[in-house]
Each structure stands twice: as structure tokens, then as C-alpha cells.
Amino acid sequence: MSKMKRKFRVPRSKPGKILLNVLVTLVLGGIYFYVTLPALNFQSGDFYSFVGFLCVVYVVCAFLTSGFRMDTEVVMAPAERVKEYLRFIKQQCLPVGLLFVAFIAVALVGEILSMPIFRAGSYRDLLQVEDGNFTEDITQISFDKIPTLDRSSAEYLGDRQMGTLSDMVSQFEYPEGESTQINYQGRPVRVSPIAYADLIKWFTNRGEGLPAYVLVDMVTQEASVVRLQEGIKYSFSEPLNRNIIRHLRFQYPTYMFSTPRFEIDEQGQPWWIAPRLVKTIGLFGGTDIRGAVLCNAVTGESTYYDIADVPSWVDNVYTPDLIMEQYDYHGTYINGFFNSILGQRGVTLTTDGYNYIALNDDVYVYTGVTSANADQSNLGFLLSNQRTKETKFYEAPGATEYAAMGSAQGVVQDLKYTATFPLLLNIAGEPTYFIPLMDATQLVKSYAMVNVAQYQVVATGTTVSQCNQEYIRLLSDKGITQDEELPQTEASGVIAEIRSAVLDGNTYYFIRLEGEEVFYSLSASTNELAVILNVGDRVTIEHEATEEEKPILDGYSIIGYEKAASTEAASDGEDAGGDVSGEETPEA
């Protein structure tokens, strides 16, 4: 039997050895590429690691094929073996070694040319920041558009919703940390695809794909599982070719991507948004985004858009971390590199943490701006559009977000509620931190509003409406706002916008008149006409005075009503609500 054993012999000829080395290198390099997915781009650090790996593999293979004889019948003198090694290094490994050294040299030179000490002005100009007017740019948001959840509490609700689906819970799970906040049909929501529970569940369900995604309304705190007619085939939970990162890499091998984010369009179709990264300073510095690839999560079809052409329904192109990094460069090198180290004149930085604000059907990232000393006060804050990177700075000296969170927790310390990261709102023209307060089960139980400039002014309430009323009262008591700065006690005009929400079991209608920004709240229980109001109707509303004769944002009543002419014509002149123009309603 021993005579039948065939010994492994390496090729004797030089071309044969080189071919074997190349084949082994390609096989191992292909495995490395499939697992790590480096971008084939000179601006990517992973690309240099990939090239280095290939060089090392080739050299090791060459040593094994040319230096170590696996044929024990060949006996070489030590001197002859050393000569063969030297000859081998000169003839085969030298070119590979030179290539390896060349790549290291390019990387080092590129790193040096990208250093801020040489390019401080370029780093400063990565982000163009304009000064904004808070009261003009940030309109007061109606109650039915104020997010009352943060990311962790929204994902907690999404995870709980999975438990209600008996046909899915054993096969799929809610993936932690993969939800994305977007504007969907005019409302702030968080969306996330479900994931395979384990590898076995993937194997048995991969044909149909992921059958649903989870949607959490950030205002009403309602979570729902949206079932799809055709399952999601491309996601992070796919281990092989349909893994979304691997799928995009094979389609765009030279592109550098930020982490793809899950979104849905206005029709509820699931997509992956993969921002394309570029380096704009030297070889490795000045990370920015040039465009984005939109990949259909069901079919896998992808389309690349330059940044100016990204569809308007997309909300996540520029990540909060990138925007904050670029502003830190802007604030640090505003007066040059050496000033950032020595004098630090005018040096500013973003605070730790951020949140989102929905404005004009886009999602803006919000973060505070503080001095280089990072004390407990903010100089102002940033708002940056996550689709266009339009960024404005608003001067509003006051408490940092974490100082405001501590102030809010102090008011409810007996209840041991935990403050979430604040949302910035415009309340009566005042920059205000809006802070949901959670209990130990991560459910929102109360709300707080903290004045940015005077963070000892804190109002709390079990509903947004109640909290807002108390905050308005405190602003007036402290002399921060004057009566004329608060919403009118009586107003007349044509209805431009109507929204509704259920608060404390009662339906409220929020109406905005043409030419105004403020919303007036009408309780359906005390204003029967509120349920038949339409855009274009003319109304006169009056606020019910409190004992202190101070207006609040609740308790308005209709004292005059005239249906729009177009509506009357459509109903052949018959007014469904009756002819009550100018007629006062009974006092509530």
C-alpha cells in the first residue's frame, strides 16, 4: 500500500512555481475579499490592508514552493540551500516586496498630506454654516407632530410588538439598533426590517425573505408590523450574497459606503439608502458624501444618485456623526491650526448627543454647540438637513442638553423617571428643550419642557398639551415672554391647515389660519363645529380666560363660522353645518 501512495511534488520549473503561487494567492485573496469586502479604492484604508494581505500570501507561498522541499528524496547542502533562498528572493519576491513597499509609501505620503496641520483651511470649509433666526426658521410644531419617544424607547415598543405575532415570533426577531427615523406621510416615525431569528430560521425562510417591517409612530407611540406582499430579500441578516453590504460591494466594487440605512418611500416600499463616501483632502482626509445608492430591499435593483438628485422622500444621506465631525473641524480650525492648540480663540465644538427635528418634510439633525472648554453651557445649536447638508447655527446661550435633562429629572425625582435626550422646540418664540420622561420599563410616562436660556424654568405634565400649558404659564410668570408674544386670545381668518389628535381620551383639532404660524386647539367635546371644519372655511375663535386672565394653548372656542363658498357650491347651497356665520357658540 505504501508504494501506491503518491507524494505531493511542487512544480520544478520557475513558471510552474509562479503559477502555483499566483493561484493560491488568488484563492485566499478571494476568500478575504468575500469576508471583509474592502472597497477597491486608493482612498480606502481597507484596500491597502487587502493588498498587503495578498503580498504576504504570495511571499509565504513562494517560500514554501521554492525554499522548503516537500520531496524528502532531494538532499541539499546548507550552503546550496542558502544560495537558493537568495536567488529566490531576488527573482520572485523582490517585485512583490517592492510593490508592498510602494503601497506603504503611498499610504504614508497620503496620510501626511491629509493632516490638518497642512490643510486646516480645507477642513474648516468642509461644512458651510450659516447664521439662522430661530423664531423665523423654527416654527411652532403642532402637538400631533411632536415626537414623544427617543430611539431606545421606540425600539423597545417595536420589539414588544413582535411578541403579538404568533406566526412570526418563532421565526423572526426585532433587530436592535437598526431602526431609522424618517418622515413618512408627514409624520415622524421609526422603521426597521425584522430579522431572521437564527441561521436555521434563515435557511428555512430565505426563499420568501423577510415578510414585514416594523413601524413606530413617534407621536402616538403606536407600533405596528407592516406585512409585505413580497418579502425583503436583501438585509443585514442575510449571511451570503444577499447581505446588503456584500450585494452593494459586488455592484459597486470601487465605491466607499457609509452604513446603509433602511427607509420606506411614501407608498411604503422598503429601500436601503447607502451614502457614497469620498475623501476630499489629500488621500485620506476630509470625509464627505458625494451621492447615494438606493437599493430596492425586495428586488435588489440599485440606482446611484448624485447628491443634488437624491429623491426628496429620502431622509438619511448625511449621518449625524459625519455632520458633527465636520462641524468640529469647522469650529476647531476657524482661526487656524495653531490657534486650535494654543490660544483657542473662537474655538467651538458640538456637544455629546443629538436628536432629530422634522421640518418641511425633511429630517434635520440637532446638536448643541459649546466652547472648547466643554463647560455646562451652550453657545447655541446646529440644525442640519440630513438630505442636503444645509446647516444653520442659532445663537441661543443656555444650558447643555445634559444639564437640562438633570433639571427635568430633579422635578420628578420622587418618581425616579429617566430623562431622554431632548428635542429642541420653538414654544412662544423661546428655544425650549422638550424631554420625554421614562419609567424603569422604558415607557414614557411624563413630559418636561425646559427653557434653554434659563434651565431652572421647568414645566412637567402627563400629556404634551398639559406640559405646554404649564410651560406657557411659567414663561409669563417669570417675565420671559410678554402677553403680546403669546398666542392671541381672539383671532379671525381663513383656515389654511387642520390637524387632529387624541389627547387624554378627547379629540382635539389644531387649526392654522392663513398668514399665521401658530396653531389653535379646539376640543371636539366643547366645540361641535370643529368636526366639520374644512380648509378654506372662515372662523372666529376666542380663548376662554383663566382666573388669572392669562391665555394658554388650550380651551379655544368657535364664536364665528362661515363655510367656504366652494364648499357651499359643491353642496348645492345647502350648508351641512347650518348657517351659523357670525353666530356665537355657547360658552364651554
The reply to whether 196 falls in a domain is yes
The reply to whether 457 falls in a domain is yes
The reply to whether 98 falls in a domain is yes
Count how many domains the chain has. 5
The pLDDT value recorded for residue 79 is 66
Shared domain for 357 and 479, answered yes or no, is no
Q: How confident is the model at residue 557 (pLDDT cuts 50, 70, 90)?
A: low
The reply to whether 331 falls in a domain is yes
pLDDT at 309 over 70: yes
C-alpha cell, 262: 433602511
Shared domain for 181 and 282, answered yes or no, is yes
Residue 26: phi, psi to the nearest 5? -65, -40
Domain end: 264, 295, 317, which one? 317
The owner of cell 421565526 is 171
Alpha carbons 288 and 279: distance in angstroms, whole number = 6
Given a contact cutoff of 8 angstroms between Cβ atoms, the answer to whether 58 and 37 are in contact is no
Q: What is the CA radius of gyration of the chain?
A: 32
Shared domain for 124 and 169, answered yes or no, is no
DSSP lists the bridge partners of residue 225 as: 214
Q: How confident is the model at residue 574 (pLDDT cuts 50, 70, 90)?
A: very low
Please, what is the average pLDDT of the chain?
83
CATH number of the structural domain spanning residue 510: 2.40.50
β-strands 391-399, 129-131 pairing: parallel
Shared domain for 164 and 256, answered yes or no, is yes
Shared domain for 277 and 162, answered yes or no, is yes
Domain end: 317, 342, 362, which one? 317
C-alpha cell, 547: 382666573
Least confident residue range of 186-190, 250-254, 469-473, 570-574:
570-574
Alpha carbons 323 and 275: distance in angstroms, whole number = 13
More confident residue, 551 or 465: 465
Shared domain for 293 and 155, answered yes or no, is yes
Query: Given strand 223-232, what is the order of strands in its sheet?
Result: 180-184, 187-193, 210-217, 223-232
Domain end: 395, 411, 441, which one? 395
Q: HSE on the CB side for 267, CA within 13 Å?
A: 4
Residue type present at position 562:
E
Share of residues in the chain with pLDDT > 70 (%): 82
Given a contact cutoff of 8 angstroms between Cβ atoms, the answer to whether 125 and 334 are in contact is no
Shared domain for 133 and 152, answered yes or no, is no
Given a contact cutoff of 8 angstroms between Cβ atoms, the answer to whether 37 and 245 are in contact is yes
Shared domain for 282 and 364, answered yes or no, is no
Q: Which of 142-146, 229-233, 509-513 has the highest mean pLDDT?
A: 229-233
Mean pLDDT confidence for 137-154? 80
Question: Which own/partner pairs from 86-92 qualify as long-range (CB within 8 Å, at least 24 positions apart)?
Answer: 88/62, 88/63, 91/14, 92/14, 92/17, 92/18, 92/21, 92/62, 92/66
The pLDDT value recorded for residue 8 is 46
Alpha carbons 286 and 41: distance in angstroms, whole number = 16
The reply to whether 414 falls in a domain is yes
Shared domain for 292 and 328, answered yes or no, is no
pLDDT at 533 over 60: yes
pLDDT in tens, 478-490: 888 765 445 545 6
Given a contact cutoff of 8 angstroms between Cβ atoms, the answer to whether 563 and 522 are in contact is no
Task: Residue 142: count other Cβ atoms within 10 Å of its Cβ.
Answer: 21
Segments forming the whole domain that contains residue 455: 400-485
pLDDT at 70 over 60: no
Q: Which of 74-78, 298-302, 371-375, 453-457 has the highest mean pLDDT?
A: 298-302
- Any alpha helices (H) in 132-190, and if so which ranges? 134-137, 151-162
More confident residue, 58 or 77: 58
The reply to whether 309 falls in a domain is yes
pLDDT at 551 over 50: no
Which residues make Cβ contacts (< 8 Å) with residue 378, sequence separation at least 6?
A: 351, 368, 369, 370, 396, 397, 398, 399, 400, 401, 452
Residue type present at position 234:
Y
The reply to whether 2 falls in a domain is no
Shared domain for 458 and 547, answered yes or no, is no
Least confident residue range of 49-58, 218-227, 530-539:
530-539
Mean pLDDT confidence for 186-214? 92
Alpha carbons 187 and 352: distance in angstroms, whole number = 26
Least confident residue range of 124-138, 375-389, 460-474, 508-522:
508-522
The pLDDT value recorded for residue 186 is 84
pLDDT in tens, 174-197: 998 889 999 998 889 999 999 998
pLDDT at 519 over 70: yes
Q: How confident is the model at residue 570 (pLDDT cuts 50, 70, 90)?
A: very low
Q: How confident is the model at residue 323 (pLDDT cuts 50, 70, 90)?
A: very high
pLDDT at 140 over 80: no
Alpha carbons 7 and 541: distance in angstroms, whole number = 98
Shared domain for 390 and 422, answered yes or no, is no
Count Cβ neighbours within 10 Å for each residue of 440-460 and write b for 16 or more, e otherwise: eebebebbbbbbbeebebbbb
Shared domain for 162 and 271, answered yes or no, is yes
pLDDT in tens, 236-271: 999 999 999 999 999 999 999 999 999 999 999 999
* Residue from 514, 528, 532 nearest 585 by CA: 528
The reply to whether 576 falls in a domain is no
Alpha carbons 315 and 265: distance in angstroms, whole number = 10
C-alpha cell, 109: 505620503
